[in-house]
Amino acid sequence: HNSPRQMPYFGVCFVLLALHAGTAWSAFNPPIPNGWEHMKAFSTLSTGQFRGVIEPIATMTKLSYCQSSPYCPSEANDTVHGWVRGPQIVQPYGLQAISFLENSAFNPTPRAVIAFRGTDLNMTRMDGQCDQCADAMLWEGVSYENLPTYCKVFTRKQLDYFGNAVAFTVDFIQRYPLHGLLLTGHSLGAGLAVLVSTTLRQLTTVVAFSSPASEAVLKRLQLPTPDRLIWTVANQWDPIIATTNVTGAVGTPCLFNVAEPTSCTSCYANPHWNLTSTICELCFADTHVYYHILRLIKDHSRPICTNKA
């Protein structure tokens, strides 16, 4: 563990999460930030209505991957129709975040979105190495002192993605106190959106794409159970969703009911399936990578949301 290596797509950060019993959400009726009241009906929207709500948020999350990375450099400065770019964190490695402010001409109630980027899976890049080290600290509870040697090129502060995400969000709220705020992200970024929401006094709502389980981390960090609306949108066959056991995860799962990829059939055929096996890596690549989530939003009927009993 003293040198960086190419990790499975899902990264070790998601494999070791412990699961705990969840809060009963069936009677949960949290307050909603101004401008996002329609999110209460998220689970009952038609497919067309769902796309109208989710596509701008999903695009904002995609754009968080286009900053300071080789994946979509031509879109690094893009925005979403009706929204302008706000404060952001763009750096060669470390936490990446981007905010969007709605044009008041489109909505008299000011709204804002903060999108946190997910893990860079390319371990040949320092960005990917930094993400993996930060993942280990946040999701596995590994102390800075016990991180692999290659992680020590990064400072403790650089690897504190959660603390940095909270600081960025608090500063944003101070600058834009009247904006109704929604937090979003994919994978690591989705988990950060969930965790950050629990620390804020200001109301927020969360749309988390393919989020890892957060309850174990909430307990370890002594954070409160979320008292706000959290929707987790994912592919039902995603190994991360299977690992987190959505009936115990934070928030309301909204899962795309799609045909099981052959890679996942082979992965789950083994009752003791291993997330680090080659076939399960392929299952992850076919279901968790954000490109596939975007395609499901565009081409498939809306996901099915299930309140936890």
DSSP result, 170-215? HHHHHH-TTSEEEEEEETHHHHHHHHHHTT-SS-EEEEEESPPP-H
Q: What is the mean pLDDT of the chain?
A: 86
Q: Within a 10 A sphere around the Cβ of 131, how many other Cβ atoms?
A: 29
Q: How far apart are CA 292 and CA 88, in angstroms?
A: 25
Quote the pLDDT of residue 15: 31
pLDDT at 14 over 70: no
Q: What is the pTM of this model?
A: 0.88
Question: Do the beta carbons of residue 245 and residue 215 sit within 8 Å?
Answer: no
Mean per-residue pLDDT, 207-225 = 90
- Note the pLDDT of residue 153: 97
pLDDT at 244: 67
Please count the other Cβ atoms lying within 10 Å of the Cβ belonging to residue 1: 12
Q: Is 309's pLDDT higher than 90?
A: no
pLDDT, tens digit, 9 for 90 and up, residues 23-42: 333 344 566 778 898 898 99
Share of the chain above pLDDT 90, in %: 67
